[in-house]
């Protein structure tokens, strides 16, 4: 019997991680929360079905290579068990015609200390995604007597969970930005809904992005679930498609965080960092003008890096500006080719979920 699960932040020395797989990934049909995320000019609008085999193979090649690089650093790597997502997702409350993927574990699994919680995603197509990680969770549960295997309250995702007629394809970018600034998102506050990638863990503090995939009721749930932790709602007004904090606000080590310069943290919310001598640095510009084809994410996956320890970071291999900035910030950079995997759910941070990092629950913001 050994301790397998432990992680309180995204920067202490990484020893054990899950890396996603692209098999059987599907572009899901439109449903209440997904339309909002697909940019109006995206070639994916109106399209759905299994992703082309050649793209799945190319993504898996880069994911396998990433896993090998991490293993070469002495990190244990586990992989999910792919499910066939090209089938309807049906519950007593809804039906949608396909699932999604098991590529970005970061959206589904939130590790807080010795606990891994499966999230309460607002996309109906993601309702059963946690099953791809079930064999790993069982293994950790069998081997680690302290591991807490947890499922967040399952949202029902009925029509009550979404604002009707929220999405209108004529909506301008300016209007989207106004909505983000007004914290007016497609989800209602009927029940807690959250993606794990909206939660930034910094020891005793959880900074949670309020946006298209996580609502305020989720933050209330977190506050009650973790009475010993501090939960902070954060939002980034410059983002027309606010989903997931890890291409927006990324800690590199205690006291240092990079912030997307188009999605700056508001003054009021910066205070807690400044009062505790944390430096917030604008992230470098992405090397690319557009994301790869059939990709949900923005070009800011450039800053979606995986910190290995306080001095080492994995950055996507073509992101020359981000690599140069990391170097100047005193980090040793490990370049990892990953653009072929972006379309399957994100970058190097999205593609992983922490199992074990050294260190405990520090109070960085006393």
Instruction: List, by residue number, the catalytic residues.
Output: 195, 244, 350
Kindly tell me the burial class for residue 2, based on how many C-beta atoms sit within 10 Å of its own C-beta (0-12, 13-18, 19 or more). Answer: exposed
231 vs 247 by CB, closer to ligand ABU: 247
Shortest CB 141 distance to ligand ABU, Å: 28
18 vs 247 by CB, closer to ligand ABU: 247
Number of H helices, E strands in the chain: 7, 19
Cβ atoms of 259 and 283 closer than 8 Å: yes
Q: Which helix (H) or strand (E) holds 267?
A: helix 267-274
Beta-bridge mates of residue 332: 312
Dmax over CA atoms of the chain, in Å, equals: 58
Output the six-digit token pair for 354.
Answer: 């922490």
**Binding interface with ligand ABU (CB under 6 A):** 197, 243-244, 246-247, 297-298, 300, 346, 350
Length of the chain measured in residues: 366
Shortest CB 297 distance to ligand ABU, Å: 4
**Which of the 8 DSSP states describes residue 321?**
H
Question: Sheet containing 148-151: which strands, arranged edge to edge?
Answer: 109-112, 115-118, 148-151
12 vs 195 by CB, closer to ligand ABU: 195
Shortest CB 345 distance to ligand ABU, Å: 7
CA distances for 73 relative to 14, 16, 69, 248, 344, angstroms: 10, 11, 7, 26, 25
14 vs 245 by CB, closer to ligand ABU: 245
Cite the beta strand spans of 64-204 per DSSP E.
Answer: 76-78, 89-90, 95-96, 109-112, 115-118, 148-151, 199-202
Pairing mode, strands 306-309 and 279-282: unpaired
4 vs 199 by CB, closer to ligand ABU: 199
DSSP string, 28-92: PPP-TTTGGGS-TT-TTTT--EEPPHHHHHHHHHHHHHHHHHHHHTT-EEE-------SS-EE-S
Instruction: List CB contacts of 4: < 8 A, sequence separation 6 or more.
Output: 16, 140, 143, 144, 147, 355, 356
């Amino acid at each position: 019997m050994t301790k397998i699960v432990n992680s309180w932040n995204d920067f202490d020395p990484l020893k054990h991680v899950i890396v996603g797989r692209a098999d059987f990934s599907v572009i899901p049909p439109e449903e209440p929360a997904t339309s909002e995320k697909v940019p109006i000019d995206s070639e994916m609008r109106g399209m759905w079905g299994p992703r082309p085999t050649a793209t799945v193979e190319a993504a898996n090649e880069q994911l396998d290579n990433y896993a090998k690089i991490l293993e070469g650093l002495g990190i244990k790597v586990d992989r999910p068990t792919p499910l066939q997502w090209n089938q309807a997702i049906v519950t007593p409350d809804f039906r949608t015609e396909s699932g999604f993927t098991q590529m970005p574990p970061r959206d589904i699994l939130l590790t807080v200390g010795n606990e891994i919680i499966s999230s309460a995603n607002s996309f109906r197509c993601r309702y059963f995604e946690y099953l791809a990680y079930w064999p790993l969770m069982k293994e950790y549960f069998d081997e680690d007597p302290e591991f807490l295997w947890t499922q967040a309250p399952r949202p029902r995702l009925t029509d009550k969970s979404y604002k009707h007629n929220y999405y209108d394809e004529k909506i301008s970018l300016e209007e989207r930005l106004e909505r983000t600034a007004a914290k007016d998102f497609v989800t209602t506050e009927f029940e807690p809904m959250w993606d794990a990638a909206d939660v930034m863990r910094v020891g005793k503090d959880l900074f949670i992005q309020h946006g298209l995939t996580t609502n305020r009721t989720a933050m209330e749930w977190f506050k009650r679930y973790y009475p010993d932790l501090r939960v902070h709602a954060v939002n980034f007004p410059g983002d027309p498609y606010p989903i997931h904090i890890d291409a927006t606000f990324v800690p590199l080590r205690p006291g240092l965080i990079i912030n997307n310069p188009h999605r700056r943290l508001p003054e009021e919310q910066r205070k807690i960092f400044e009062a505790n001598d944390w430096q917030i640095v604008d992230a470098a510009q992405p090397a690319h003008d557009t994301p790869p084809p059939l990709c949900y994410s923005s070009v800011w996956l450039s800053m979606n890096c995986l910190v290995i320890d306080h001095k080492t970071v994995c950055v996507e291999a073509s992101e020359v500006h981000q690599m140069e900035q990391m170097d100047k910030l005193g980090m040793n950079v490990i370049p990892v080719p990953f653009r072929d995997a972006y379309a399957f759910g994100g970058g190097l941070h999205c593609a992983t979920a922490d199992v074990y990092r050294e260190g405990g629950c520090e109070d960085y913001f006393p």
